């Protein structure tokens, strides 16, 4: 995959690839972590768009699949750390769901790295920045999604 990824990066750079990234943030931890990143003025690539949900467990598999269908190059789901869920254990359900979804998108020809789950707490502004930067880099390396003419 790594040599492929390298080629994609080149292709991406040639065509001015602007990745489209959707981030589902739970209201209580990750959204607040993203807010903290903002308050701390932590700079990051501008390609992600945050959608607020109350709990990461609200992210219906359909949301993820529809977003890929509509041309998302990468989707990140961010929730509270294990044992820190505002809704007791929603994040555990998310973890299982994302593991299954990764298998599913692979069957549609998507690289599993295009879907990612991260635990980001309300106090982890830096982790939000790091996650967004790394995920954007990953997607840049993978290039446009299969539905947008990539692989």
Partner 1 sequence: MAENKEAIQSDKPRIGVFVCHCGSNIGGFVDVPTVAEYAKTLPDVVYANDNLYTCAEDGLSSIREAIRKHNLNRVIVASCTPRTHAPLFQATCESAGLNKYLFTFVNIREHCSWVHMKEKDKATVKAKDLIRMGVSRARLLVPQEEVRVDVESTALVVGGGVSGMSAALSMADMGFPVHLVERDGELGGFVKLLNNLYVTDKGAEETIVPLIKKVNEHKNITVYTNSMLKSVEGFIGNYEVAIGHKGAEDKKIKVGTIIVATGALEYVPEGLYGYNQFPNVVTLTEFEILCKKKTLPKLKSVAFVQCAGSRGQKLSYCSRICCNVAIKNAINIVDNYENMLGLAEKQGTVVDKIPVEKKATDEILERRRRRRGRGTEGESDAEEVKLGPSEKIEVTVFNRDVMAYGVEHELNYNKAREKRVKFVRYTTENLPKVFMEDNQLKVTYFHETLKLERTMPVDMVILSTPLVAQPDAGDLSKLLKVPLGQEGFFLEAHVKLRPVDFATDGIYVCGTCKGPADISECAIQGAAAASRAAIPMAKGYVQAEALTSVVDETKCTGCGTCIAVCPYGALRKNDKGLVEAIAAACKGCGACGATCPEGAITMTNYTDAQLLAEARAALDEEV
Question: Is residue 80 within 8 Å of 28, Cβ to Cβ?
Answer: yes
Residue listed under structure tokens 């930067």: 133
CB of 2 to partner 1, least distance (A): 28
Q: Identify which range of 4-12, 24-32, 98-106, 110-118 contacts partner 1 by CB under 8 A.
A: 24-32
CA distance 151 to 146: 5
Q: Which helix (H) or strand (E) holds 96?
A: helix 90-107
CB of 76 to partner 1, least distance (A): 13
**Closer CB to partner 1, residue 6 or residue 123?**
123
Coil/strand/helix, residue 13: helix
DSSP conformation class of 16: T
The percent of the chain in helix, strand and coil, each rounded to the nearest 5, is: 50, 15, 35
Give the phi and the psi of residue 131 in degrees, each rounded to 5.
-60, -45
CA distance 131 to 100: 21
Residue 127 as a binder of partner 1 (CB under 8 A): the answer is no
Residue 22 as a binder of partner 1 (CB under 8 A): the answer is yes
Among 89, 99, 106, 109, binds partner 1 (CB under 8 A): 89
Residue 104 as a binder of partner 1 (CB under 8 A): the answer is no
CB of 5 to partner 1, least distance (A): 23
Q: Identify which range of 9-17, 45-53, 104-112, 135-143 contacts partner 1 by CB under 8 A.
A: 45-53
Summarize as ranges the residues that interact with partner 1 (CB under 8 A).
Answer: 20, 22, 27-28, 31-32, 34-35, 37-39, 41-44, 46, 49-55, 57-63, 66-67, 70-72, 81, 83-90, 93, 97, 129
């Amino acid at each position: 995959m790594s040599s492929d990824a390298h080629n994609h990066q080149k292709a991406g750079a040639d065509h001015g690839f602007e990745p489209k990234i959707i981030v589902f943030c739970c209201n209580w931890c990750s959204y607040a972590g993203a807010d903290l990143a903002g308050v701390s003025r932590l700079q990051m690539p501008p390609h992600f768009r945050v959608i607020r949900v109350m709990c990461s467990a609200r992210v219906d598999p359909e949301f993820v699949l529809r977003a890929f269908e509509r041309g998302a190059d990468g989707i990140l789901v961010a929730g509270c750390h294990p044992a820190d869920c505002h809704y007791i254990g929603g994040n555990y359900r998310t973890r299982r769901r994302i593991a299954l979804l990764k298998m599913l998108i692979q069957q549609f020809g998507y690289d599993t790295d295009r879907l990612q789950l991260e635990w980001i707490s309300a106090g982890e502004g830096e982790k939000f920045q790091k996650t967004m930067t790394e995920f954007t880099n990953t997607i840049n390396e993978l290039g446009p999604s299969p539905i947008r003419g990539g692989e």
